[in-house]
Amino acid sequence: MGFPKIPLARWVDVFVEKITDIFGGFFEGISNGIEFVMESIVNVLNYGPNWVLILILSALAFYISRWGLALFTLIGLLLIDNLGYWDATIDSLALVLSSVIITIIIGLPLGIWAARSDTARSIITPIMDFMQTMPAFVYLIPAILFFGIGVVPGIIASVIFAVPPTIRLTNLGIREVPKDLIEASDAFGSTPRQKLFKVQLPIAAPTILAGINQSIMLTLSMVVVASLVGAPGLGAEVYRAVTQVKVGQGFEAGLSIVIIAIILDRISQNLRKPAYESKVSKKYIYGIVALLFIILFIIASIGNAKPAEQADPGNIGAKVDYKITGIDPGAGLMRLTKEAMDEYELDEWTLTEGSSAAMMTELKKAYKKEEPIIITGWIPHWMFQKYDLKFLEDPKHVYGSGEYINTLTRKGFKQENPGAYKILDQFFWTPQDMGEVMIDVEEGEKPEAAAAKWIKGHQDKVKKWVTGAQRGTGQKVTLTYVAWESEVASNNVIALVLQEHGYTVDLKQVEAGPMFAAVADGSADAMVSAGLPTTHKDYYETYKAGLEDLGPNLKGTKLGLTVPKYMEDVNSMEDLQND
What is the number of alpha carbons within 13 Å of residue 344 lying toward its C-beta? 25
The one-letter amino acid code at 87 reads D
- Residue by residue, DSSP assigns 552-576 as EEEEEEEEEEEEETT-TT--BGGGG
Interacting residue with other proteins among 32, 117, 122, 191 (CB under 8 A): 191
| Minimal distance, residue 187 CB to other proteins, in Å | 4
Binding mask 132-171 for other proteins (x = CB under 8 A): ----------------------------------------
| Minimal distance, residue 128 CB to other proteins, in Å | 28
Binding span for other proteins by CB under 8 A among 183-191, 263-271, 450-458, 461-469:
183-191
Tell whether residue 190 is a contact of other proteins (CB under 8 A): yes
For residues 84 and 89, give the distance between their C-alpha atoms in angstroms, rounded to a whole number: 9
Nearer residue to other proteins within complex by CB, 191 or 430: 191
Binding mask 195-224 for other proteins (x = CB under 8 A): ---xx--xx-x-------------------
Q: Are strands 504-509 and 476-481 parallel, antiparallel or unpaired?
A: parallel
Cα three-residue angle 172-173-178, rounded to 5 degrees: 105
Are 493 and 438 in contact, with CB atoms under 8 Å apart?
A: no
Q: Are strands 547-564 and 323-325 parallel, antiparallel or unpaired?
A: unpaired
Tell whether residue 194 is a contact of other proteins (CB under 8 A): yes
| Minimal distance, residue 291 CB to other proteins, in Å | 25
Tell whether residue 101 is a contact of other proteins (CB under 8 A): no
| Minimal distance, residue 173 CB to other proteins, in Å | 13
| Minimal distance, residue 179 CB to other proteins, in Å | 9
Binding mask 451-490 for other proteins (x = CB under 8 A): ----------------------------------------
3-state secondary structure 456-498: HHCHHHHHHHHCCCCCCCCCEEEEEECCCHHHHHHHHHHHHHH
Binding span for other proteins by CB under 8 A among 105-113, 192-200, 481-489, 502-510:
192-200
Binding span for other proteins by CB under 8 A among 184-192, 263-271, 348-356, 407-415:
184-192
Binding-site size for other proteins (CB under 8 A) equals: 18
Which of 513, 445, 520, 516 shows the shortest CA–CA distance to 485? 445
| Minimal distance, residue 288 CB to other proteins, in Å | 23
Nearer residue to other proteins within complex by CB, 179 or 369: 179
- Residue by residue, DSSP assigns 70-135 as HHHHHHHHHHHHHHT-HHHHHHHHHHHHHHHHHHHHHHHHHHHHHHH-HHHHHHHHHHHHHHHHS-
Interacting residue with other proteins among 17, 186, 348, 521 (CB under 8 A): 186
| Minimal distance, residue 204 CB to other proteins, in Å | 10
3-state secondary structure of 555: strand
Helix (H) or strand (E) holding 209: helix 201-221
For residues 258 and 76, give the distance between their C-alpha atoms in angstroms, rounded to a whole number: 10
Are 549 and 501 in contact, with CB atoms under 8 Å apart?
A: no
| Minimal distance, residue 182 CB to other proteins, in Å | 9
Binding span for other proteins by CB under 8 A among 34-42, 76-84, 126-134, 180-188:
180-188
Cα three-residue angle 427-429-433, rounded to 5 degrees: 135
Q: What is the number of other CB atoms lying within 10 angstroms of the CB of residue 442?
A: 17
Tell whether residue 188 is a contact of other proteins (CB under 8 A): yes
| Minimal distance, residue 196 CB to other proteins, in Å | 12
Tell whether residue 187 is a contact of other proteins (CB under 8 A): yes
For residues 513 and 250, give the distance between their C-alpha atoms in angstroms, rounded to a whole number: 13
For residues 288 and 63, give the distance between their C-alpha atoms in angstroms, rounded to a whole number: 13
What residues between 397 and 456 interact with other proteins by CB under 8 A?
A: none
Interacting residue with other proteins among 1, 5, 25, 180 (CB under 8 A): 180
Tell whether residue 278 is a contact of other proteins (CB under 8 A): no
Sequence-separated (6 or more) residues with CB below 8 Å from residue 569: 314, 316, 575
Interacting residue with other proteins among 2, 25, 126, 189 (CB under 8 A): 189
Nearer residue to other proteins within complex by CB, 1 or 187: 187
Tell whether residue 116 is a contact of other proteins (CB under 8 A): no
| Minimal distance, residue 289 CB to other proteins, in Å | 22
Where b means 16+ CB within 10 Å and e means fewer, 173-183 reads bbeebeeeebe
CA distances from 559 to 142, 151, 229 (A): 28, 26, 21
| Minimal distance, residue 446 CB to other proteins, in Å | 53
Binding site for other proteins (CB under 8 A): 178, 180-181, 183-191, 194, 198-199, 202-203, 205
